[in-house]
Amino acid sequence: MLRTILLYLSDAGWARRIVRNWRLARRVSSRFIAGETLDEACEVVRRLNQKGMFTSLDHLGENVTNADEADAARDDYTHMLQRIADTNLQSNISVKLSQLGLDVDFERCLHNIRVIVTQAASFGIMVRIDMEDSSTVDRTLEIFRELQRSGPNNVGLVLQAYLFRTQDDLNALSHLHAHVRLCKGAYNEPAEVAFPRKADVDRNFDHLSSQLLDFAKSTAERPASSGKFPPITAIATHDERRIAHAVHHAETIDMPKGSIEFQMLYGIRPDLQNRLAASGYPVRVYVPFGSEWYPYFVRRLAERPANLKFFISHLIRRKGNES
């Protein structure tokens, strides 16, 4: 119930207006958000790189409402790519298609993401298309397939284990040798499209991660594909049981550590990130930044009880200091 309420609030305009002006929320959100500017985010990336971790930069600001906003977001990403290349940061980028105009003009969105992907390829940088709520999945897959057909192979996609349809989507993508990141999912979905129980999501996550690793194993045994972006299975979770399952399955099918990348969010379980990196697994940290931090922040509170506990403890501590 609490998760449902928080996910509702993540999309509520009235709640956004209140919380964005609440200084405590802005301060606590800095645990999960690497600042509001690209300079601040690049400094976080640099520190993570020094610890032996890769990153994925995300400029927050989904669900734009007009073409000018979509084009401005495209330009923000091309500027980000130039900065990554100029400063030799070990980072790729993550993009939400609703930020590039998916809900405004499909063809414009396709053009914008193609511009970003083409520039990224020239720098040797991967672009990961984030999956958003279930209403966007078909259009996101259509754009992904079009990019696969017509462009360089530096485009990845995210699949969400809480959606009933993801098994079929993964089966359909298997022949494309796609760069897939598997996550649990963090949107407020109707019961007819998503597993309502955490145990069912976890079970499906384990099943899908095993299938992804099996696909990766079979791909690795084929002749090398063209290009400089060989597919790597990306497992995106902070759940140690899900990670243990993926590690066990990878060892069972004799997958080298370098072919499975664990991806986690900035500010969440840095201890686990460091432990996995020290054991030889590639670790990539998702680093969001920007002024439109509210929806992302609230979804993080909804995802894990520990995040909400962290927020409430700061609220209580602040109230205590003021009394």
Using one digit for the tens of pLDDT, what is the confidence trace for 252-295?
Answer: 999 989 889 999 999 889 999 999 999 999 999 999 998 776 66
| Cα(257)–Cα(260) distance, integer angstroms | 6
How large is the C-alpha radius of gyration of the chain? 19
Catalytic residue among 103, 130, 206, 239: 130
CA separation (Å) from 244 to 193, 212, 306?
Answer: 27, 15, 20
Q: Taking phi first (over 0 means left), then psi (-120 to 50 degrees means alpha), and beta for anything else, what does residue 31 get?
A: alpha
Q: What is the DSSP annotation of 44-87? A: HHHHHHHTT-EEEEEE------SHHHHHHHHHHHHHHHHHHHHH
Distance (Å, whole) CA 204 – CA 209: 8
What's the pLDDT tens digit per position in 180-230? Answer: 999 999 788 999 999 999 999 999 999 999 999 998 887 665 444 444 566
**pLDDT given at position 300:** 67
Helix orientation angle between 270-278 and 240-252, rounded to the nearest 10 degrees: 20
* 307-to-114, 212, 281, 311, 314 alpha-carbon distances in Å: 36, 29, 25, 6, 11
Find the catalytic residue in 74, 114, 128, 181: 181
| CATH number, span 34-292 | 3.20.20.220
Instruction: Say which range, 48-52, 59-63, 86-90, 246-250, has the weakest mean pLDDT.
Output: 59-63
**130 among known catalytic residues:** yes
Phi, then psi, of 29 in degrees rounded to 5: -65, -20
Quick check: 176 pLDDT over 70? Answer: yes
Q: Is 181 tagged catalytic?
A: yes
- Please state the domain extents for the chain: 34-292
Q: How far apart are CA 299 and CA 294, in angstroms?
A: 9
The pTM (predicted TM-score) of the whole model is 0.84
Say how far apart CA 74 and CA 99 lie, in whole Å.
Answer: 8
